[in-house]
Amino acid sequence: MQRVRYAGCFRDGGVLGWIPRSRLWQPGLNALNIYPLPNTTGSSGINYRSQTPSKQPRREEMLRLDFQATDKWRFTGRYMRNLDTQQLPYGTLGVGSNNLDTAQAVFDHPGRNWLLSATGILDSTTSIEISVGSANNKIEIDTENPALRRSAAGLVDFPLLYPQAVQEDNIPLFYFSGGRVGPNAG
């Protein structure tokens, strides 16, 4: 019987295949510590299960006023305000992983608009309508989980391709493939 020598494998504590703790990369360990510990076994490719509900309250307010000044002139005013703050435990749009309920993303996108309008009949063949208004909305996506900040997670020194793209000290988005956690999950 021929003995096979595994020159490329690690041995730690007398166990072949264990990487010595001194050889582990600390930023990589910090990245792994973001994820929760397994809470289930026996499923192929799945070791964490959860059922955390989202909260998606929405409120819309509208005010409209119409005024018929004369039989030839009509004035209209409108104001609308939209409040929409979604609390998404599985994350959204780059905040957290969509498979773990630790992202605690807040997706806030309020909006408002107003309009003033005047309509008049100038003569039997000509009318005029003048309108002016404004509308705006914003989209703010953040996390309520303080552990998902680079400084709290120990990832300030984690190398990035585009470090200037870091916003609000958010952690980088990590993908894993070959299972149910990555974007290529089936």
Position 99 in a domain: yes
Partners of 83 in beta bridges: 59
Position 184 in a domain: no
Position 153 in a domain: yes
Position 17 in a domain: yes
Q: Which residue has the tokens 């964490």?
A: 48
Residue 97 confidence (pLDDT) above 60: no
Position 179 in a domain: no
* Rounded-to-integer distance, Cα 154 and Cα 150, Å: 6
SS3 of 153, please? helix
pLDDT digits (tens, 9 = 90+) for 51-94: 888 898 999 999 999 999 999 999 999 999 999 888 888 777 65
Please give the residue that has the higher pLDDT: either 48 or 114: 114
- Nearest 5°: CA angle at 126, between 124 and 129? 130
Please give the residue that has the higher pLDDT: either 31 or 135: 135
Residue 41 to residues 34, 38, 44, 45, 47, Cα–Cα distance (Å): 20, 8, 8, 9, 6
* Rounded-to-integer distance, Cα 110 and Cα 107, Å: 10
Position 130 in a domain: yes
Residues 158-171 have a mean pLDDT of 83
pTM of the entire predicted model? 0.57
Position 69 in a domain: yes
Give me the number of domains the chain comprises.
1
Residue 171 confidence (pLDDT) above 70: yes
Position 30 in a domain: yes
Partners of 74 in beta bridges: 68, 119
Domain that includes residue 130, residue range: 11-165
* Rounded-to-integer distance, Cα 98 and Cα 78, Å: 39
